[in-house]
Amino acid sequence: MLSWFKKKQAKPDEITVEEKDELAPEESTQEIPEDVVEETGFVPDEAPAEEKVEQLADTIEQETVQQQVESPEEETNGTGLFSRLKERLAKTRHSFVSRIDNLFLGKKTIDPELLDDLEEILITADLGVTTTLELLEKVREQVNRNELSDPQVLKQMLKENITSYLTGHARPEKMVMPETGPFLVMVVGVNGVGKTTTIGKVAHKFVKSGLSVLLVAADTFRAAAVEQLKIWGQRNNVDVFSQQAGADPSSVVFDAVEYAGPQNFDVIIVDTAGRLHTKVNLMEELKKIKRVIGKKLENAPHEILLVLDATTGQNSISQAKLFNEAVGVTGLALTKLDGTAKGGIVVNISREFNIPIRFIGIGEQMEDLRDFEPQQFVDALFAENAGTQSLEQ
Ligand SMILES: Nc1nc2c(ncn2[C@@H]2O[C@H](COP(=O)(O)OP(=O)(O)OP(=O)(O)O)[C@@H](O)[C@H]2O)c(=O)[nH]1
Ligand SMILES: [Mg+2]
């Protein structure tokens, strides 16, 4: 159950609990007084009257989602999950592996024309020019040395190389939770990539693992953004810390961490407003949010999760670059892989950045956020006869 994250092990040279208390004296372990709760603006279950109208309007949608979440058809066994992964990756599989299969069909040898066509397929699937050229160079070398002549062996070689691009990161592959205190995850990304949805799904995973979760609505740009997070809070039955729309996001996170301190939440997930990676002032705001979190909670944020929309293709490379420069991204979530034929972007991102991909999004349902398992991902892409039906939908 806990395989997708792990608890940090104590090391002698690491900061002790006593030292930590000294550095962050404001983190009291006393009960939180009611007036602090009021001051921090935490909205408990009792919502103000005007919000209740909206909540009522949301009820139908929530019930629908609840049914999806609790659906007895939810696939819980490994085989079912894998076949759904194959099916949801059908567009990429079709544009990538099926085209390779067609290219190799009936071919007994590897000639330059075949390699040119292969190059085009890899680039079209968004594997990236550098990755493609590097792969092709390896292949050409082996062909020239007469070590490779069978197209089927070439396909296997591609599969192995792609897997190797998806593994081998210097950073920990799993999220590492601190030994004590809450694990704080800050979620960032451009507009509409799926940050809030991913937060809802990740919260669900933590709750399923038996951990208590606080969601923090630091996207104060739009009132609807706060509402959207509250709905996810209700679906997962977890608390949502929010203040009024337009509030300074840094002050929201400050108050949220203050509120969370004595409550002993295991996990705090901070939603931030979508922002263009090229807007300097918005990226400065993100840096400030990070700084404020770090002042309130030692070593936090422990995870800065950048959400990227796989359908945006190459643009996600520059998003990853600029968000990483601004705040130091520690993990990636690639969403909407079900909606693109260019899922090769996963390989491209992995090759370009030394940042592990934590999650992939393959749909809008709760179980459609998957831990990213490189081998499983490649197996699903290269699987025989997978998911052709969904292409016809
Ligand atoms: N098909 C599909 N849709 C997804 C996936 N992840 C998110 N979405 C959809 O993408 C849309 C945008 O998601 P949000 O979570 O609101 O995105 P956001 O990044 O929080 O947006 P802003 O807060 O406006 O920046 C919603 O309709 C989601 O249901 C996915 O993996 N697959
Ligand atoms: Mg959002």
348 has pLDDT over 70: yes
Question: Does residue 193 have its Cβ closer than 6 Å to ligand 1?
Answer: yes
Q: Could you give the CA distance from residue 236 to residue 203 in angstroms, rounded to a whole number?
A: 7
Tell me which residue of 180, 249, 259 sits closest to 214, measured CA to CA.
259
pLDDT of residue 195: 97
182, 270 Cβ separation under 8 angstroms: no
Q: What is the mean pLDDT of residues 254-270?
A: 94
pLDDT of residue 169: 64
Distances from the Cα of 373 to the Cαs of 77, 80, 286, 347, in angstroms? 16, 16, 29, 12
What is residue 348's three-state secondary structure? Answer: helix
Question: Does residue 219 have its Cβ closer than 6 Å to ligand 1?
Answer: yes
Q: Per the structure block, which two tokens stand in for 112?
A: 């330059």
In the chain, pLDDT over 70 holds for what percent of residues? 77
- Alpha carbon of 64 to ligand 2 centroid (Å): 20
What integer best gives the mean pLDDT of the chain? 80
Beta strands in the chain (DSSP E): 5-7, 175-177, 183-188, 213-218, 239-241, 267-272, 303-309, 331-335, 357-361, 369-371
What pLDDT, in 10s, does the model give residues 156-205? 999 999 998 888 666 567 888 888 889 999 999 999 999 999 999 999 99
Confidence of residue 263 (pLDDT cuts 50, 70, 90): confident
Distances from the Cα of 210 to the Cαs of 100, 131, 206, 302, in angstroms? 44, 40, 7, 20
- In this structure, which ligand is nearest to the CA of 338? 1
Q: What is the mean pLDDT of residues 364-390?
A: 80
Question: Does residue 196 have its Cβ closer than 6 Å to ligand 1?
Answer: yes
- Alpha carbon of 67 to ligand 2 centroid (Å): 23
Q: Per the structure block, which two tokens stand in for 74?
A: 């939810």
Confidence of residue 67 (pLDDT cuts 50, 70, 90): very low
328 has pLDDT over 90: yes
125 has pLDDT over 60: yes
Q: Could you give the CA distance from residue 311 to residue 130 in angstroms, rounded to a whole number?
A: 20
- Alpha carbon of 195 to ligand 1 centroid (Å): 6
What pLDDT, in 10s, does the model give residues 4-22? 676 655 443 332 222 323 3
70 has pLDDT over 70: no
Q: What is the mean pLDDT of residues 25-40?
A: 33
- Alpha carbon of 134 to ligand 1 centroid (Å): 33
Confidence of residue 53 (pLDDT cuts 50, 70, 90): very low
Confidence of residue 146 (pLDDT cuts 50, 70, 90): confident
What pLDDT, in 10s, does the model give residues 221-231? 888 999 999 99
Q: Could you give the CA distance from residue 308 to residue 324 in angstroms, rounded to a whole number?
A: 12
* Torsion, Cα of 234, 235, 238, 241 (10° steps): -50
What pLDDT, in 10s, does the model give residues 101-114? 999 988 888 999 99
What residues form DSSP beta bridges with 188? 306
The number of C-alpha atoms within 13 Å of 257 and in the hemisphere containing its C-beta is 28
**Cis peptide bond upstream of 301, omega within 30:** yes
